[in-house]
Amino acid sequence: MQVLPCPEHHQANTPSTPHHANSVTTVTAARSQPLATEAGLSILKAGGNAVDAAIATAAALAVTEPCSTGLGGDCFLLYFEPEEKKVHALNGSGRSPAALTAERVRADCSVTDDEMPLLHVHAITVPGACAGWCDALEAWGSLPMATVLEPAIRLAEEGFPVAPVVAYHWAAQAELLRRNAGSEGAGLTELLVADGDAPKGARAPRVGEIWRNPTLAATLREVAAGGKRAFYGGRVGAAIARLVAAQGGLMTEADLAAHADAKPTLDPPISTSFGGVEVYEHGPNGSGIAALLALRILDGLEPSPAEHGHNSADYLHALIEALRLAFADTRWYVSDPEHCQTPVAELLSEAYAAARRALINPALAAADVRKGSPVAGSDTVSFQVVDRHGAAVSMVNSNYAGFGTGLVPQGCGFSLQNRGANFSLRRGHPNMLEPSKRPYHTIIPAIATKDGELYATFTNMGGFMQPQGHVQLLLNMLAFGMEPQAAIDAPRFCIGGISNGSESTGVVDLEARCMHLPHSTRPPYTVPRSCAVHHCRGLALPLTSPRNPLPPLTTAGAVARERAHDHSSPHLAGGR
């Protein structure tokens, strides 16, 4: 790739500060990357609808934030249709190779536990983003793909100044991209800058350098002209299969073509009532049910968490315990419904919520819930769009962990995700790796309605932080009456797994401003970003919180004396 020093006129546009909210009466898009927001707004101003603008934004983010998202990843989308006052869902996640089994992973990777390797080629699932974009436009869009992708193609061809946060994460993962130098079918410098002084002659682009990605532009032009079949069944699909095979993987061109030919997954979203609004999330294999289950548990808790005061110790204890119980269930039950049905109705029933609620001790933390707790972090992008008709889109697009596997198919301009790392290798587990199966998915867009009208559309990034962020954002707005921007800006917690990949220490990470507690400081941590659009009296308010970087986190620990069940059955009144 070619980069140039940033011209002075570009410097002012570098997204080095938070993108603050602006009120608009017709159209809006919320996103932490202004160039991507501009791409979405340009489509809205050209007469496109919310879905058109969402796909344009996703494509622009694939260009400007490849360290988080791209055509090598997956997407999930919720769409609010104002005419019918109905929320629709599109699942744009890919499946495992047809020839891949848990036994093969154990043999190839010398795995001795039940965890999938994070960065191995076997963690690659079929990239679902391209099909998701195409299917969304076909179902609800109003403009041709060529028009929708034009802003992203222009960014890739003409270049843009690399933002500070993006440059930081890009540099942090440069070695991952370099590790495959010389491998057959791998494009070393397609996501790096050729530099003779850098290790292996390549480095990440620096802040303010103009980054161009002509190979990604060519890929986007092929999608614009030929749709998803041009991607999965054409040059790009062949390049993906060739690279995976060279790395010892089993994904074939037939796996990719099968995804293009598969019927779009437009299953209805799942929802629950909380605080006077109806909250919608994706059903399994998405993990939005974790947020809904936590809300169900909190809704009947006595005393109400809000009575304790915002971010007080008692308030945080209630939310943390509810979310830990929710994760205990969802990390066991959430799976690909084509392979194993998740008991959604039972999990969200009042009887089951009451049984789980009864396990919360207001004075003590439950013992570490190993199997149900978050176990890994990820990098993701999310954004919201509302058009002049009141239609809204909440969307998340992700590689999972940064550049995913860091494998770049030759001539394609993107890296391949590692979403398959969320499979379990445990025999009998609903989410056990099987051929042609979708894994447990952390990316979860959300929409809330009130009396049938759009109330809010919101997301946050950060792997297993996402349902935690949804719950905290909604409590801030509904229980404490915060304005949406204040609700986003308020300090948050994140349960375990951020620093060391497990919750074996019983650690909860809190933003330092949250509480005055004795704490040990750590290096600054990038707290997951949030985006939301609050729809009020005909106004759509775009809100975003980059949260990169923040002061050190507070680390809070609690003595655990009561054990929560790992994966209590919703069919049992006792909650076991």
Which residues belong to the active site? Answer: 380
Residue 16, Cβ density class (10 Å: 0-12 exposed, 13-18 middle, ≥19 buried): middle
Residue 275, Cβ density class (10 Å: 0-12 exposed, 13-18 middle, ≥19 buried): middle
Contact status, residue 545 vs residue 489, Cβ threshold 8 Å = yes
Nearest-angstrom CA–CA distance, 221 and 338: 33
Q: Where are the alpha helices (DSSP H) in 233-338?
A: 235-246, 253-261, 289-299, 313-333
**Beta strand pairing call for 530-536 and 508-511:** unpaired
Retrieve residue 340's tokens: 């194993």
Residue 173 sits at φ, ψ, to 5 deg, of: -115, 15
Q: In one letter, which amino acid is 2?
A: Q
Nearest-angstrom CA–CA distance, 178 and 182: 9
Strand arrangement of the beta sheet that strand 553-556 belongs to = 493-495, 508-511, 553-556
User: Which residue in the block uniquely carries the two structure tokens 């109330």?
Assistant: 455
Angle between helices 289-299 and 313-333 (to 10 degrees): 140
CB proximity list for 280: less than 8 A, separation 6 or greater: 78, 87, 89, 269, 270, 271, 446, 447, 448, 449
User: Which residue in the block uniquely carries the two structure tokens 């949250």?
Assistant: 514
